[in-house]
């Protein structure tokens, strides 16, 4: 008789009872329910041990995220070293830095392309809530406004250790996940296997502002009701000041003052005793007189506001030279062509092109270099200021003023691109921020904001969505406002950082698929002769999340086969409103914001800003000798750290994936240790102060620094040189690629290693010496080829010169104070204007400040070398391949925090 078989429901084949008994005795050591229950443990272990982050970063935090891959921190210990370039291969999005409105649609698209299961880590204060940039008009107040966040990592920026702790937290969260197992009737807690769950995020729209399509109807309703305009009508507005006028002799000014006093005796307010007498006689008292009389009269006449000496910068042409130049221009183009106004030449807009051509081509000092261009909104005009220097006679800087109509959208001046091509992006920025049009500009479109944005944000009459008052400290933040503190969202009619004009009617035309940022930036063919197969040209968009664009930067390429025949940079994806915030902050508050421009060079950034305000303060901020030496030491250490990173990641771009970068990161980490020891922070040092530095060097710091400078850095630079400079692959990928001639480098206003690699020996430390650089022996490093290789090699050799300066500064470091007086948290800056220039690692970093005698800057502008160097990018890339474009961009060494500000 055959043995009866038993069919278990979970098995599909009959089992002999004897075999079943043996299996249950020796193999099936657990129940089927328990076995299925173990799936969670195995599945979660696999997921937690092989996290694949999406390889893109936003701002400062991204640098610390990259550092976790170095041997010092070793993210591989947590199974997360496989950074993926495509969202379709990634399961973790690390939102590392400021989320801007411009970038938010891109982030939403990336998230929607990631496969399930997917996780989001919000890294840093900016990603989590806007951080120090929350009040900015282009900033999203936290990524969780749009994406579900699994882990928040605090810090600004968080250290690499903090991000690793965030990964551990995410791993613990994954350990708690349970899958659906219908066989045992168990419901899990993972939404991605639920067919009814939709985890995709609606892509927001770039219209007059960033518009969340989930609340579109409510937004339209509140816009039509004019709630924004009603709120702004109750707010105090920034005061406008008149544009500078020609200086009036003191005698004339005194006579004018006496005439004004004599002309208005009847307008004098009644004193308190006069008011009492008038009331006792039953006479009529003018309305408001009681309140006026109640105010205490000043004990003595108020002193005239302090005014800083008139000079555009520390090293310039000089008063006599400027007067001679004004006379030369008047004789050339007619009386009134050039008027000296506060150490600058005021030129009529109609004569700007003639004057510009003369200054460049026929003046004895050939002003061939446009250092900086910016706009200022005054009550009677928009003033454009141009800072010009000569590469043949450096240190002869002059400033031009040109004025346009003040009314929004009505100002217009001629474009000077035909004279100085480096004006291209700077004019577009002035148009984007101030609304001034430049007639003759070949591509006058918005550059930091997007086409369709409703406002010109650096005009004084533009109030941000989170605006509270014209200057900090806001009333709700001080003692009188105790108990009144509130979140900005509570008073904004939309409950978020949004502002839309009441008259907007284009709601039906809003399209989440539209490319508002790249629209109008499609390159046209430029006549490059392609001697290959007959192919059709097409446009390729590279970025803004591409791993090789050095941040959220985009290039629209027109290619013929593999050959680039047109290129348009698209920037602004990290525009954090640095300058608008800088005009709200007190002068001292701006130091930590300068850290976040080029976040590789916070010490150098601090130095430039300190010099601008010190120029206005004069002897009140005279820097002691010890502080001067400390400043130079910190600046040159920062230069070495920046160049190390630049070289490491240039090799990354050329194909030597990450190994050279790891070598470079190791040296940079040693320098960051010194910064953290002295300033308390690795990257955002906030170390300089007006008149000195914040803290003295701690005991043992100088010995440690000397050991690194004397015993290590030189050897490591030699090691990089030996491994890279004669490498055949490096030379093949960089020699003759991205050539920028000497004439082009000057015309495009390039600076730093980019300019010097084209044979121009222009270094601000020598051309216009600042601090105590004139005391040190060092060479200005140049090359002649102007290609990718020369830009690499100039940086390598410049590190050696920095080591020379460091050795001299450390040996000469004196004892003494680090500030000219007591540490102060509020300073008085005289009225005036100043343009400071320092040689940053990327080139000339300039700060232009207009002060009106108050506690904040009336105008605050940053001349960004990374931004202006990009003006030459298309010219460098034409005729090369797409692969070469990556290396050419890497050789510019841009940092998006400084590009977009």
Binding residues for [4Fe-4S] cluster: 60-61, 126, 156
562 Cβ neighbours under 8 A, 6+ residues apart: 881, 882, 883
State the CB neighbour count (10 A cutoff) for residue 676. Answer: 14
Secondary structure of residue 394 in the 3-state scheme: coil
CA dihedral sign, ordered 184, 187, 191, 195: positive
Q: How many whole angstroms separate alpha carbon 890 and alpha carbon 297?
A: 64
- Least Cα distance to 337 among 324, 351, 325 occurs for 351
What residues pair up with 863 in beta bridges, in sequence order? 846
Between strands 537-542 and 554-560, the pairing is antiparallel
Asked whether the beta carbons of 894 and 550 are under 8 A apart, the reply is: yes
Angle between helices 625-654 and 714-724 (to 10 degrees): 20
Give the tokens for residue 199.
């985890």
Asked whether the beta carbons of 348 and 384 are under 8 A apart, the reply is: no
Asked whether the beta carbons of 542 and 883 are under 8 A apart, the reply is: no
Q: How many whole angstroms separate alpha carbon 493 and alpha carbon 696?
A: 47
Give CA torsion, residues 488, 861, 867, 840, to 10 deg. Answer: -110
DSSP for 401-433, please give it: EEEE--STTT-EEE--TTT-TTHHHHHHHHHHH
Asked whether the beta carbons of 889 and 621 are under 8 A apart, the reply is: no
Please give the backbone phi and psi of residue 132, each rounded to the nearest 5 degrees, phi first: -65, -15
Distances (CA, A) of 834 to 171, 313, 344, 827: 52, 6, 11, 16
What residues pair up with 139 in beta bridges, in sequence order? 100
Give the tokens for residue 284.
């009529």
DSSP for 830-899, please give it: -BEEEEEEEEETTEEEEEEEEE-SSSBEEEEEEE-HHHHHGGGHHHHHTTSBHHHHHHHHHHHT--HHHH
Binding residues: 60-61, 126, 156
Q: How many whole angstroms separate alpha carbon 516 and alpha carbon 497?
A: 19
- DSSP secondary-structure letter at 530? -
Q: How many whole angstroms separate alpha carbon 168 and alpha carbon 158?
A: 15
């Amino acid at each position: 008789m055959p043995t009866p078989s038993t069919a278990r429901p979970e098995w599909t084949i009959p089992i002999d009872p004897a075999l079943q008994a043996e299996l249950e005795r020796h193999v099936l050591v657990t129940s089927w329910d328990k076995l299925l229950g173990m799936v969670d443990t195995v599945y979660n272990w696999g997921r937690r041990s092989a996290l694949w982050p999406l390889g893109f970063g936003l701002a400062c935090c991204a640098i610390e995220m990259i550092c976790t891959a170095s041997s010092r921190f070793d993210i591989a210990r947590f199974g997360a070293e496989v950074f993926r370039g495509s969202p379709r291969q990634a399961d973790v999005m690390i939102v590392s830095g400021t989320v801007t409105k411009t970038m938010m649609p891109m982030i939403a698209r990336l998230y929607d392309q990631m496969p399930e299961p997917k996780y989001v880590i919000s890294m840093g204060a900016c990603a989590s809530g806007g951080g120090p940039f929350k009040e900015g008009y282009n900033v999203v107040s936290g990524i969780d406004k749009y994406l579900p966040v699994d882990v928040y990592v605090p810090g600004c920026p968080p250290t690499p250790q903090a991000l690793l702790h965030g990964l551990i937290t995410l791993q613990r969260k994954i350990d708690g996940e349970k899958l659906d197992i219908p066989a045992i009737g168990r419901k899990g807690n993972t939404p991605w296997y639920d067919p009814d769950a939709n985890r995709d995020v609606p892509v927001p729209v770039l219209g007059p502002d960033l518009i969340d399509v989930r609340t579109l109807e409510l937004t339209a309703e509140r816009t039509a009701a004019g709630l924004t305009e009603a709120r702004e009508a109750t707010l105090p507005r920034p005061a406008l000041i008149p544009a500078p006028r020609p200086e009036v002799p003191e005698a004339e000014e005194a006579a004018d003052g006496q005439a004004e006093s004599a002309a208005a005796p009847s307008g004098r307010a009644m004193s308190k005793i006069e008011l009492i007498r008038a009331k006792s006689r039953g006479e009529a008292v003018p309305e408001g007189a009681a309140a006026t009389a109640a105010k205490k009269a000043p004990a003595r006449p108020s002193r005239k506001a302090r005014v800083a000496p008139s000079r555009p910068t520390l090293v310039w042409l000089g008063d006599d030279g400027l007067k001679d130049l004004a006379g030369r221009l008047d004789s050339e183009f007619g009386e009134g062509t050039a008027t000296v106004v506060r150490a600058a030449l005021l030129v009529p807009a109609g004569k700007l092109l003639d004057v510009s051509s003369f200054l460049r081509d026929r003046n004895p000092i050939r002003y061939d270099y446009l250092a900086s261009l910016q706009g200022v909104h005054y009550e009677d005009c928009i003033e454009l200021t141009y800072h010009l220097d000569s590469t043949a006679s450096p240190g002869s800087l002059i400033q031009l003023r040109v004025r346009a109509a003040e009314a929004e959208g009505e100002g217009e001046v001629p474009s000077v691109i035909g004279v100085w091509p480096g004006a291209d992006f700077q004019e577009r920025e002035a148009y984007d921020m101030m609304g001034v049009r430049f007639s003759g500009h070949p591509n006058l479109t918005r550059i930091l904001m997007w086409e369709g944005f409703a406002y010109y944000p650096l005009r004084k009459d533009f109030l941000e969505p989170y605006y509270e008052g014209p200057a900090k400290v806001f009333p709700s933040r001080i003692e009188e406002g105790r108990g009144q503190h509130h979140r900005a969202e509570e008073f904004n009619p939309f409950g978020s950082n949004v502002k839309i004009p009441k008259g907007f009617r284009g709601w039906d035309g809003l399209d989440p698929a539209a490319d508002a940022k790249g629209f109008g930036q499609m390159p046209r063919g430029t006549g490059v002769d392609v001697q290959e197969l007959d192919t059709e040209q097409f446009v390729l968009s590279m970025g803004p999340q591409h791993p090789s664009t050095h941040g959220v930067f985009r290039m629209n390429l027109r290619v013929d086969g593999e050959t680039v025949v047109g290129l348009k940079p698209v920037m602004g994806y990290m525009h954090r409103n640095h300058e608008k915030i800088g005009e709200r902050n007190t002068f001292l508050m701006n130091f930590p914001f300068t850290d976040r421009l080029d976040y590789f060079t916070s010490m150098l950034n601090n130095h430039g800003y300190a010099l601008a305000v010190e120029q206005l303060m004069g002897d009140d901020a005279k820097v002691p000798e010890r502080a001067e030496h400390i400043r130079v030491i910190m600046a040159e250490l920062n230069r070495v750290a920046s160049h190390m990173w630049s070289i490491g990641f240039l090799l990354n771009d050329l194909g030597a994936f990450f190994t050279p970068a790891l070598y470079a990161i190791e040296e940079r980490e040693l320098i960051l240790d010194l910064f953290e020891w002295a300033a308390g922070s690795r990257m955002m040092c906030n170390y300089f102060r007006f008149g000195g530095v914040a803290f003295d060097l701690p005991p043992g710091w100088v010995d440690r620094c000397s050991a690194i400078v004397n015993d290590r850095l030189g050897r490591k630079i030699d090691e990089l040189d030996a491994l890279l400079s004669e490498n055949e692959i490096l030379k093949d990928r960089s020699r003759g690629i991205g050539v920028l001639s000497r004439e082009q480098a000057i015309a495009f206003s390039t600076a730093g290693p980019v300019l010097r690699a084209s044979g121009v020996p222009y270094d601000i430390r020598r051309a216009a010496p600042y601090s105590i650089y004139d005391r040190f022996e060092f060479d200005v490093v140049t090359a002649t080829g102007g290609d990718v290789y020369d830009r690499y090699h100039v940086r390598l050799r410049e590190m050696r010169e920095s080591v020379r300066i460091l050795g001299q500064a450390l040996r000469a470091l004196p004892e003494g104070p680090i500030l000219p007086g007591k540490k102060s948290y509020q300073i008085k800056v005289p009225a005036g204007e100043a343009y400071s220039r320092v040689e940053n690692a990327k080139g000339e970093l300039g700060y232009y400040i207009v002060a009106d005698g108050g506690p904040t800057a009336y105008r605050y502008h940053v001349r960004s070398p990374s931004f202006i160097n990009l003006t030459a990018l298309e010219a460098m890339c034409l005729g090369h391949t797409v692969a070469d474009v990556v290396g050419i961009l890497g050789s510019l060494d841009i940092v998006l925090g400084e590009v977009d500000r």
